[in-house]
Structure 1
Amino acid sequence: MHTSIKQLIDYSSGLFSLEQEEFIELVSACFVYVYIFNQDKSPQAFQLDKKLTFNDLNSSVKTVLHLSAPLKVCRKNRPELEYALNEFIAKLALLFQSNVISGKDLSVAVKELYGKSREHFVIPNELCQLGVGLLRSSTQQVYCPFEKGCDFALYLPEQTEVVTETNSKDDVFYAKAQSALLNKPLQVIETDPLKNPTLIEDGQLKKFDAVVGMPPLGIRVKGKVNGDIWCRFPEDSLMGEVYYLRHMLAQSKGRVICFVSNAFLFRTAAGEYQFKEDIVENEWLEGVIALPRGLLTHISVDISLVILNSSKTSLSVKFMDASSEAFTRKLSKTLSQLCNVQQLLDIYNNPHNYDDEIVYSSKYEIADTGYNLSPARYVKSEDDRKLDEFLSGFKTAKLCELVDIIRPQSVQHNEEGNETFKEYGINNLDGIGYLAGNPRLLMLDRQKSKRAKKQMIEPNDVLVVCRGAVGRVGFVPDKIGDNALANQAFAILRVKPLCRRMSPKALFQYLSSDYGKYQLSSLATGTTSLMLSSKDLSSMIVPALNKAQQEVMAIAHQQAIDKQKSIDILQKELVELRTQAIKKIAV
């Protein structure tokens, strides 16, 4: 923000007894009023030497911006604040007439004010630059739907025809104010793009050369799109991304640039799975770019960029991981800023020059992952390459070829049950991963007991954490006892009876190694809580060890047990030392 504008705003904020949102709207309206007057595009009523009321400001700005509703801050006159209002406008006009500030400076200030608002948000400039930068130079008509779609629109060349639809009156004012301050033509339509799209041409929704937007993230919209007369939504989805992307596809004859939550990329709910299968099988998915974490200030959701193109000719999909430090500028512990945007665009648009940065995957490879669109599944990191090099020294096998995988089901305690079971959880894993400590006791009735016995753990079972602390591994000791269960956080791996290429102890040692932990954690999906699916676990590639290699692992296994016993003894001695010291000083 320009220093003079910031100082004026800071000074004036103490003169107006307004809530933050009202103050932001008032300042933005004053910016528009002064800019329009000084551009000599205003009616004769725009006189800076005339005492201005809130009603006058509302009437002038509403007329110039063609607003359908009055400004919230100007719905009633505020005589007690008129002196402050006129002082603010006079000082602002002086800055403008002295060529200290420009319309662009005012636009930057408006965006920064809205970005700091508790009730509003803006799309970071770097994301706007990225989204618009992916459009082809020949693009002449662009559709920017949803709230703050105008942030993308204002980055487009002046000769581009741009339309945005938004169902927020506040957003309509913001978009039209920005359009006026930058003197850029922008058609702003107040409507819900999903429920009531208005852009119709030749009996169908108008198709633009391209569509760019960041739809609402993590929103459930089921019920909002019932009875769609434009037949945009073949899937029934709980989350909104499918509907938003379908709408954007319906109004594009070229590229669709859409920022989505990372969770959307790997979720497998019915509607989302069907949608991803459809765009992959129809070869509309052009690319996916993973972005750094913490780019948004208004919501704690990490995002990626999906590029769709119903007219693309390539049979493969481009996956790029731009979440690395090369594209990240840390602002705080939780917030980051996208950087080196032009380099990112160069890599995506010229992939033949960056073989290590871009991976092409066929629709068959994507189908094999269950239509998981996370770039991490396809783009190999340095750690991935180290793992590949390590595994290349062994014969390998899918985990499901070596073990049976059992996923425990929930069993509920019943006080009136007639049989006792012991349930072990993550807290029961000791320093080397052995089950230890007191389990949770469950009483189960006859029917639930029958189900529980099908998923009991046995000595030498390997337990893999599949919820939350993915990467931790446990081992069931010989003296586990009867009626022992693992809770739902685990998957039980039981080496097949006739398997000669793996032993339980060797498997436990490998999965507990840095390589094994990395494999498990890299297969995990989720944002707030990590999850490891049975399908991904089954297809995990592990070394198939010969007898001599298994013996080496067994020796390491026993040595770890012995070391843990020594640690336990030392810990008991430490406790005893403290106890004796307390006794001595208490004498």
Structure 2
Amino acid sequence: MQDNRPLNVIRLLRANALSDLDAFVVGMALFGWAKLSVSGRLSEACAMQRIVDGGLSVLQDTLLSATKEQHDGLLSDLAKLQGMDGTVVLTLVALAYELAVAGELDKLSVGDLLRSDRGAPLAIPSRLVSLMVQLGRLAPNDSVYTPWDFYAQLAIAAHAVGAVASIETPIHSSIPRLFQLLAGASSPVHYADPILAPSQIANGSLIKFDVALSFPPVGLRYEREVSYDGRWNRFAESTTSGSILAIRHLLAQAKRRVVVLVPNSLLSNTGAEAALRYDLLKRGMVEAVIAFPKGLLESTAVATALLILDPNGGHHRVRFLEVDGSRFCTPTSKTRWQLCDPGDLAELATSAQEPSDPCVATVPQADVIDNDATLQVNRYVTARKAANLLGPRPSPGRPVTLGQLVRTVRPLPATTRKDVPASAQPTTLYEIGAADLPEHGYISGAERRISIDGGTLASAAPLFLQPLDIVLIVKGSVGKVGIVPTKVPNPGPGGWIAGQSGIVLRVSDPRSVDPRALFLLLRSPMGQLQLRGIVAGSTTPLIQLRELLALPVQLPSSEEQAAAAEALETEGRIQEQIDQLRALQAKAAAHLWSLEHAYGEGDADDEAPARSGSVQVLSS
């Protein structure tokens, strides 16, 4: 796009008191008006050429005629220009007309325009659209169902490969038709809620399309009664989740394949989500799952995944692909990124051959079902990476899980963490959080203090940290781990407890495993890789307790445990020396040009805030 001129039209609309959404909608209407005018599809009375030639004298009449022109209300949003300053509207018309005459609207990238403008919150990145279409394996003349295709992106991409799309959207807007006008596509747009009142019906039955492609809005919810709708036998789970209902609906309207973008939470949540996964897996409908990290979509920070489903079932293996820090994504900012090589990614997902790519794992359907039917991609991809790293190394002892080695101590309940009046004689405790866990050595202390009353203190006795307890962060900075030193404050006032984002692992029998060895095992690259494999959550990363306790542990030999304990002690001694050197370093120049020197001892605290700085004082 030359100088991003189409986007400049939308920016000018926004600068003239239109909201982000209205500016986007009116801008698209202007582009549609220009395209129809230049192509000769409008009468002379409402064509843009009339304003370009006649100026202000014909502006209002022509604008009104264009707004009311047939085309089924396609340009009705131009009415929002009626109250705007005439000279501004003339500028907008001139810009849009110039774009159309130059052919720039014919080359307009819908994906680029949507990505660049904040008035299109439900847009799909263009490379993700390309990936979804390729995963659909569309052939010329295939029928394609694209519900919730608010900007006709999927329909336009399907049209480009010769397929025939049908759009269904609950939002009454001319946007999907305008985008198709600019792209030279003409898929029908049906305004209806696909869940509540699907419109694609023939002879009382849902129309079956060859392929369904969809991105239902994240967080979509319905009344629970909707899931009891027995028409067409779509829904099996009692739920309010729009994602679950959308998947069931898509399967009911597709003959060959469904490609649907869902929040990552659907891959691992319990309840109705788990019931859905069990059913899809048992019927062999899950062909592949592609997981994306947070930052793919402009409209949400939620991590998402693509499900590739076969309504006919019969699949006995599931292909898992993880797009996270791999060759398939590249950052565009600190929090955003975009897909790379959608063609290669589609080939990996659908290839009959077993790929050697480290971001891919193919797992027997029965194994996935046995694993609580979780479709969390990192679980299987990480397990494969760990197996490749470990190789055929034999375990020195019987295979164990983390839950066989430790018992857990949960943090102090959040409900007890409230302001305690001074009259209640509160007790101060120190809370160990992620920031208190050092990279090496033992935990040295906590920065955060909390106050509790006497009753809470009595019930919190089992929660105080003990020597060689392991603190693991299971929410947020998941996987970060630390170990309590042998000298720790006694339970009670001044004692240490774990923060809300952590959990305490207390070795049940130190004779079976040295806590220091277990800590270093969890902190090691191999341990961190295993922990990443059980991370869930679409917005905030978390590790569920049952997954943590089921984590397989390769029990170190007695020699390895002794070496680990010695290594940790060495880290601790070195850390003490580093702390001492830092203290000396801090003192080295502390006496030079201090506030006490500038103001006189005892005056600094009172005077310094009122002055501009020690340099100015010394120079005065």
Which residues of 2 match residues 74-473 of structure 1 at below 5 A? 74=80, 76=82, 80-81=86-87, 83-84=90-91, 87-88=94-95, 91-92=98-99, 95=101, 100-101=102-103, 104-105=106-107, 107-108=108-109, 112-121=112-121, 122-138=123-139, 140-148=142-150, 150-157=152-159, 160-169=163-172, 172-222=173-223, 225=226, 228=229, 230=231, 232-237=234-239, 239-266=241-268, 268-291=269-292, 293-352=294-353, 354-356=355-357, 358-380=360-382, 384=386, 387-389=389-391, 392=394, 394-395=396-397, 396-408=399-411, 410=413, 412=416, 422=429, 424-426=431-433, 428-429=436-437, 432-434=441-443, 436-437=445-446, 440=449, 442-444=451-453, 451-473=459-481
Pair 1:577–1:40, CA change in 2 (3 A)? closer
CA-CA distance at 1:61 after TM superposition: 6.1
Q: 1:255 to 1:202 in 2, by over 3 A?
A: same
The structure-2 alpha-carbon separation of the partners of 1:432 and 1:526, relative to structure 1 and needing over 3 Å to count, comes to farther
Residue identity in the other structure for 1:489? S
SS at match of 2:559: helix
CA positional deviation for 1:162: 1.6
Distance 1:545 1:17 in 2: 69
Residue 156 of structure 1 aligns to a residue in which SS? helix
| Alignment partner, residue 585 of structure 2 | 574
SS at match of 1:536: helix
Q: Percent identity?
A: 24
Q: Which residue of 2 aligns with 1:66?
A: 72
How far apart, CA to CA, are the structure 2 residues paired with 1:516 and 1:84?
62
**Partners in 2 of 1:160 and 1:283 — Cα distance?**
27
Q: Is residue 483 of structure 2 the alignment partner of residue 475 of structure 1? A: yes
The CA deviation at 1:300 is 2.8
CA distance in 2, matches of 1:226, 1:325: 38
In structure 2, distance between residues paired with 1:555 and 1:23: 66
Unaligned runs of 5+ residues in structure 1 are: none
How many Å apart are 1:311 and its aligned residue? 0.9
Equivalent pair of 1:209/1:253 in contact (CA under 8 Å): yes
Q: Distance in 1 between matches of 2:24 and 2:457?
A: 63
For the 8 Å contact 1:54–1:77, the answer to whether it is kept is no
Cα separation, partners in 2 of 1:432 and 1:62, compared to 1, 3 Å:
farther
The Cα shift of 1:571 comes to 2.7
Q: TM-score, normalised by structure 2?
A: 0.80
* Distance in 2 of aligned mates of 1:535 and 1:11: 51
C-alpha displacement at 1:74, in angstroms?
4.4
**Does the 8 Å CA contact 1:28/1:177 hold for their aligned counterparts?**
yes
SS of the residue 2:197 aligns to:
coil
Contact 2:382 2:529 (8 Å CA) reproduced = no
Contact 2:14 2:23 in 1 (8 A): no
Q: 1:44 to 1:559 in 2, by over 3 A?
A: closer
Secondary structure of 2:566 counterpart = helix
- Aligned twin of 1:552: 563
Unaligned runs of 5+ in 2: 52-57, 601-620
CA contact (8 A) 1:162 1:187 kept: yes
| Aligned residue in 1 for 2:5 | 6
Give 3-state SS (helix, strand or coil) of 1:290's partner.
Answer: strand
Check the 8 A contact 1:12/1:88 in 2, yes or no. no
Q: Which residue of 1 aligns with 2:518?
A: 507
- Matched-pair contact (CA < 8 Å) for 1:288–1:307: yes
Distance change >3 Å, CA 550–CA 251, structure 1 → 2:
same
| Structure 1 residue 28 corresponds to structure 2 residue 28 | yes
Find the residue that maps to 2:289 and give its secondary structure. strand
Deviation at 1:307, TM superposition (A): 1.1
CA distance in 1, matches of 2:565, 2:256: 59
In structure 2, give the amino acid aligned to 1:67.
Answer: G
2:504 aligned residue:
492
Distance 1:398 1:317 in 2: 25
Instruction: Give the deviation of 1:91 after TM superposition.
Output: 3.8
Q: How far apart are residue 562 of structure 1 and its match?
A: 2.0
How many residue pairs are counted as aligned between the two chains?
574
Deviation at 1:351, TM superposition (A): 4.2
* Residues 438-477 of structure 1, C-alpha deviations (whole Å, 9 max, x = no match): 774654565x566534444433322222222322223233
SS in 1 for 2:564: helix
Is contact 1:147–1:168 with CA below 8 Å preserved after alignment? no
- Residue of structure 1 equivalent to 2:554: 543
Structure 2 SS opposite 1:326: coil
Work out whether residues 227 and 237 of structure 2, in 8 Å CA contact, stay in contact via their aligned partners in 1.
Answer: no
CA deviation map 1:291-324 (0-9, x unaligned)? 3653323333333211121213221211112334
| Residue identity in the other structure for 1:303 | T
Change in Cα spacing, 1:141 to 1:372, as seen in structure 2 (3 Å) is same
Q: Distance in 2 between matches of 1:156 and 1:556?
A: 59
Deviation at 1:547, TM superposition (A): 2.5
The TM-score with structure 1 as length reference comes to 0.84
Change beyond 3 A, Cα 1:276–1:55: farther
Q: Using the alignment, how far apart are the partners of 2:293 and 2:471 within structure 1? A: 32
- The CA deviation at 1:436 is 2.8
Kept in 2: contact 1:500–1:546 (CA 8 A): no
Q: Displacement, 1:153?
A: 0.5
Once the two structures are superposed, residues 518-569 of structure 1 have per-residue CA deviations (whole angstroms, 9 ceiling, x without a partner) of 4334432235433122122112222312322222222223222222222232
How far residue 410 of structure 1 moved from its aligned partner, in angstroms, is 0.8
Q: Is the 8 A contact 2:381 2:533 kept in 1?
A: no
- Map 1:42-53 onto structure 2 (within 5 A): 42-43=42-43, 45=45, 50-51=50-51, 53=59
- RMSD, aligned CA: 3.8
CA contact (8 A) 2:144 2:164 kept: yes
Distance 1:248 1:11 in 2: 35
Distance 2:11 2:482 in 1: 62
1:33 corresponds to which letter in structure 2?
W
Q: CA deviation at 1:17?
A: 4.3
The Cα offsets for residues 55-112 of structure 1, whole Å up to 9 and x where unpaired, read as: 644654665542389315447476824644664565456x2xxxx417632x53x654
Letter of the 1:6 counterpart: R
Q: Equivalents in 1 of 2:552, 2:29: separation in Å?
A: 61
CA 1:366 to 1:24, structure 2 compared with 1: closer, same or farther past 3 Å?
Answer: same
Deviation by residue 1:10-58 (Cα, 9 ceiling, x = unmatched)? 6994999463655544443343334334545445655565455456446
SS at match of 1:33: helix
Distance 1:248 1:58, change over 3 A: farther
Asked if the contact 2:152/2:176 (under 8 Å) is kept, the reply is yes
